[in-house]
Amino acid sequence: MQTVSKCLCALAVIAGFSLPAAGQSALWARVDSGAAEVRGKVVAWRRDFHQHPELSNREFRTSGIVADHLRALGLTVRYPIALTGVVGVLKGEKPGPVVALRADMDALPVTEEVDLPFASKVRATYNGSEVGVMHACGHDLHTAILMGVAEVLAGMRKDLPGTVVFIFQPAEEGAPEGEQGGAGLMIREGALENPKPEAIFGLHVFPRPVGHIEYRPGAFMAASDSFKIEVRGSQTHGAQPWNGTDPVVVSSEIILALQTIVSRQIDISRNPAVVSIGSIRGGVRFNIIPALVELGGTIRTFDPETQGDLHERIRRTADMIARASGAGAQTTIVRTNPVTFNDPKLTEQMAPTLKRVAGADACSISPPLTVSEDFALYEQVVPGIYFTLGILPEGSAGTGGAPNHSPHFYADEAALVVGVRALANLAMDYMLQTK
């Protein structure tokens, strides 16, 4: 019995608590046992969402299931918010702070190529084109995990020392052209008001060993900007290119030159940076040189100085190459997401919780990630922590696995219960430490 008591006290010291160790360990045990009990439901929800993915701002079925679940748990529910979002409020019977947990619900215009019994066969229209639809970024896992967290914590309402706000967000991948959406719209429509959280936590599944958690204080994920370059020439017959100005060739020169900006003009020893072209549109027939080619791309940076510098260099490079060939280039850059910045003090406070959940050997500080997240917008309103949860099956970590946004993206469902435990314990520990 002395040994058990010493272990409990040690856990309390590691986690930074001042309350009696036995009481805290009992709450931790209830959270973990609750997570184990809902595991089957979480897996079933995840598979259902995976088989029935919905694009950004079209998450009607998904959000309806989420809203019904939260109502059944007795939460106060706002639905819809920000078109297809859901906010549920769980008020504990003990006084304490307000903490928010967030999951995103939208899928991607990707045709699934993974052989699963619940693989997506869904097709939809995206920006005027017919596309396959797939949860290629794991938002199906995020949604199912947070539904599980809601059930676990709702079952502990009598002992809950505060209030938990559950945010189920649409359109994290970006709203369709001409629409608003995502975290920005959720905030503008009051997702962080009445009650206002004092902290917010979220996770993203990532190709790391299953169950491993990685976090980083400060700048964690990059700021992202989207850009479009319209290259205008003059149309002519493909057999007589000298009678026009070929924007296809000019666009090719611009694409290659853009890749030298980061590799030859930016000091990446200070901070990482990325410039990538993701789309090229131009022409309707093999033997007609078109008048217009559109290039679409993304910029990733970690500091405002590099971000502004890249914007100027991209514009100048496109303009001067186009003019050298007698063409024209118009560049439009849109700032999409700021840097995902984990509050350093809050991260230090809650890191012991993540280590306790994952195990010290399976929890580590991540390098900066050049992916981007609109969770960053919440962190501009309240202090927050965003972290990654590994989903690579055992034995596959050495292969690197399929990346997020790949048609081969695959997640080991053993990560689901770890995700439930991580978010539920973060909420509980934060409330206990700050009440």
Which of the following is catalytic: 32, 140, 172, 373? 172
Integer-rounded Cα Rg, in Å, for the chain is 24
Which of the following is catalytic: 32, 54, 106, 214? 106
- Return the closest-CA partner of residue 144 out of 212, 220, 51, 58: 51
**What's the CA gap between 210 and 397, in Å, rounded?**
9
**Total residue count of the chain as it appears in this document:** 435
**What's the CA gap between 337 and 121, in Å, rounded?**
31
**What's the CA gap between 88 and 80, in Å, rounded?**
11
CA distances from 88 to 79, 121, 166, 400 (A): 9, 31, 5, 36
Phi, psi of 423 (to 5 degrees): -70, -40
**Distant-in-sequence, close-in-space partners of 291: CB < 8 Å, separation ≥ 6:** 232, 233, 234, 235, 244, 247
Q: Examine the residue annotation and report whether 68 is marked as an active-site residue of this protein.
A: no
**What's the CA gap between 53 and 119, in Å, rounded?**
10
**Distant-in-sequence, close-in-space partners of 247: CB < 8 Å, separation ≥ 6:** 231, 232, 233, 282, 289, 290, 291, 292, 293, 327
Q: Examine the residue annotation and report whether 361 is marked as an active-site residue of this protein.
A: no
Q: Virtual CA dihedral for 430, 387, 67, 47, nearest 10 degrees?
A: -130
Report the half-sphere exposure of 7 (CA within 13 A, side-chain side): 6
Quick one: which H or E segment has residue 232? strand 223-232
Quick one: which H or E segment has residue 10? helix 2-15
The residues assigned a catalytic role are: 106, 172
